[in-house]
A = this chain, B = another copy of it.
Amino acid sequence: MEEKTHTSIHYEKELQEIKETLLYEGGLVEQAIQRAVRSLLERDSDLARTVIADDEQINALDEKIESACIRLLALRQPAAKDLRFIAATIKVNGHLERIGDIAANIAKRAVDLNKVPPVKPYVDLPRMADITREMVRESLDALVNEDCELACEVREKDEVVDNLNEQIFRELLTFMMEDPKTIHRALMITQISKNLERISDHAESIAKMVIYMVTGKNVRHLGPGEGL
């Protein structure tokens, strides 16, 4: 067995730490999505404000991970495969930070919506939120475990979310046309739905990156079902 040098032990420890911090950031992001939507369903504006305030933590992790990646590049000169992982991590980290922002935006909308009577009971929105959260978790698991199959599943789910968003839009359009008094409220709900769809897009981007990293096949600019 090859004996590991002092440097390589340090190097692997640092790489492992980056992976763990990224997964931790992912956990916070998932929680933010879940809480943001719950604050709407349960009309709990205090919870919404917690989500908005906690976005700071995600931002701090974003900076921490990026600095760690650059430090690793500078001091350890990683080889080709790890280099590709670190470049992917720099981008994934950016996606997670954006998802955090989007979750905070959903929470802001929830605060507004909680001040007015509900248009209708929410059915598809919580389902959409559950799927997008799963997608975020699975795309990160796929990244750290180099699991291409899981990444492909994430891509398929993006289509489900797109359809749900379309369905919510159509339904609210009907409400708005029938009763113009609902327009403003209904618009805010379509914005939340659109925000969840954007989160799903970010998770899909992460999944495509994983497929590229592992197989070398570039599916980043193909639609779901294409390319693999």
Contacts and interface: CB of A to CB of B under 8 A. Distances in A.
A69 B59 CA distance: 25
A79 to B, nearest CB: 8
A83 B87 contact: no
A1 interface: no
A41 interface: no
Nearest to A86: B73
B183 A56 contact: no
Contacts of A87: 66, 69-70, 73, 90
Classify chain A: how many residues form its interface, as a range: 20 to 34
Nearest to A58: B221
A94 B176 CA distance: 37
Interface in A156-177: 173, 176-177
Q: How many copies does the complex hold?
A: 2
Contacts of A80: 74
A46 interface: no
Interface in A181-199: 183-184, 187, 190
Nearest to A79: B74
Contact of A176 (B91, B183, B221): B183
A227 interface: no
A63 interface: yes
A8 interface: no
A117 interface: no
Contact of A180 (B56, B177, B190): B177
A16 interface: no
B56 A221 contact: yes
A73 B83 contact: yes
Interface of A: 56, 59, 62-63, 66, 69-70, 73-74, 77, 79-80, 83-84, 87, 90-91, 94, 173, 176-177, 180, 183-184, 187, 190, 218, 220-221
11 contacts: A59-B220, A63-B220, A73-B83, A73-B87, A74-B79, A87-B90, A90-B91, A173-B184, A176-B180, A176-B183, A180-B180
